[in-house]
Amino acid sequence: MQQNISRKNICLFLSLACFISLIINFFLLHQRINLVIFFIFISTNILVFFYLLQFFSSKNFLIGSQIENIQEQINIINVENKKSQEFGAALKFKITRYDNLKKVIEDLNRSLRPEVVVNVLSATVYSLISNSCGTALFYLLDNHCQKLNLMHSIKEDKQLAIFSKEGDIFDYWVLRHSRELIIEDLKNDFRFDLDTVQSQEIRQVLSLISSPLISHHSLLGLLRLESDKSASFNQDDLRFLSLVSGLGAVALENSLLFQKTQDLAIHDDLTGLYTKQYFIGRLKDEAKRCQRLDQRLALMMIDIDFFKQYNDKFGHIAGDIVLKKVSFLLKDNLNELSPLLCRFGGEEFLVMLSDIDKQRSLTIAENLRQRVEREKILLRRQNTSITVSIGLACLPLDTKDEDELIQQADKAMYDAKRKGRNRVCCT
């Protein structure tokens, strides 16, 4: 606009100069001035005219250049301002992310249950990094067989099926290298064969980030976010995922150690069955529940016949083998009935079966006795068979008191021994 105004002023000035020159020329003609003088005057006017025209054109060009420079500076300032706004927004987003770490730590410290830790970590990265889009997967590592097990998943598409329960090529890459993995676009990532990936998994994955959970140089599992769109994650996302995984690894290790301690406290070291103290507590609770719901409860007392002879003949290690074998048979034969199994002491075992009447309990006990009798155990290169005596008592038919229920089952078991062993007796 300023350039147009300058051009108008120049035109007006030149027009005025021409007009004045014409008037003067007209006056001189009428005064009959010498033609040479007239020609000189006209030439001078023309020279002055072109000089003024060049002068104002130069000024106009200079002003135009200044306007372009100013406009260029304005554009640079606008670009820098836009970058500053984007940086401010990104910084605000990062601050929001890291502010949430305090709540994450509080949630992790609130419980020592592994499933709570897994859920908190998965939900945190899914909301703060993926913005609740795509899929979050949490794998735990089985150190005995070095296999991953899918413990938890969060999916944007609720109908999406996760078939790789033991991990895929990406997860085992993280497991093998023990470091973070980012894939911005799988189609352009030379480390993985796209055809192999697509043949292994039905769901489409184009970008992902994954971080191992490592505590005291021990790999516990991995946390992974994925998307069916490319460029869904960047390096900042990976750094935040790694930070959350580091915090989560400590919490997960503590929860696993606590769970292991609890398991050791309520399980027998040799057989893996529940301890006597824990079993009696569960028996009391279950007895009250069955009485409240008017249900039946059966209790079996099991004793290995002539167990001392195995120890004397084959040694105590052989006796441990027998105890483990009987424990396995109890679990295997009664698995479908969801029993509560206990090593009551020495070579005695207790079995609690809920909501099963006395007649069916007798059938189950007899089938169990026959299964044990048929089983062969190799002790010092000798095939040996064992037998058990089983005593059975039921609540509320035989008694309504859980303590007396154990006494009744124990009494029935001793009746089976007096009658020749390898049999089932009930009160």
Q: What is the pLDDT of residue 302?
A: 96
Going by the DSSP 8-state scheme, the letter that residue 400 receives in this structure is S
The helix (run of H) or strand (run of E) holding residue 162 is: none
Best mean pLDDT range from 23-27, 54-58, 271-275, 397-401:
271-275
Range scoring the smallest mean pLDDT among 65-69, 205-209, 295-299, 350-354: 65-69
Using the predicted structure, report yes or no on whether residue 12 has a pLDDT greater than 70.
no
Q: Measuring CA to CA, how many Å separate 244 from each of 10, 14, 181, 251, 262?
A: 71, 77, 15, 11, 27
Q: What is the pLDDT of residue 134?
A: 92
Using the predicted structure, report yes or no on whether residue 2 has a pLDDT greater than 60.
no
Contact at 8 Å (CB) between 206 and 230? Answer: yes
276-426 maps to CATH 3.40.50.300: no
Overall average pLDDT of the 39-45 stretch: 66
Going along 161-217, which residue ranges are E strands?
A: 181-183, 207-215
Q: What share of the chain is helix, strand, coil (3-state, %, to 5)?
A: 60, 20, 20
Q: How many other C-beta atoms can be found within 10 angstroms of the C-beta atom of residue 299? A: 26
Q: What is the pLDDT of residue 36?
A: 60
Range scoring the smallest mean pLDDT among 167-171, 176-180, 193-197, 245-249: 193-197
Q: What is the pLDDT of residue 28?
A: 54
Digit-coded pLDDT (tens) for 279-320: 999 999 999 888 888 899 999 999 999 998 888 888 878 889
Mean pLDDT of the chain: 84
Indicate left, alpha or beta for 391 from its phi (over 0: left) and psi (-120 to 50: alpha). beta
Q: What is the pLDDT of residue 97?
A: 72
Tokens matching residue 308:
């001392």
Query: For the domain 110-262, what is the CATH code?
Result: 3.30.450.40
Task: Give me the residues paired with residue 302 across strands.
Answer: 349, 390
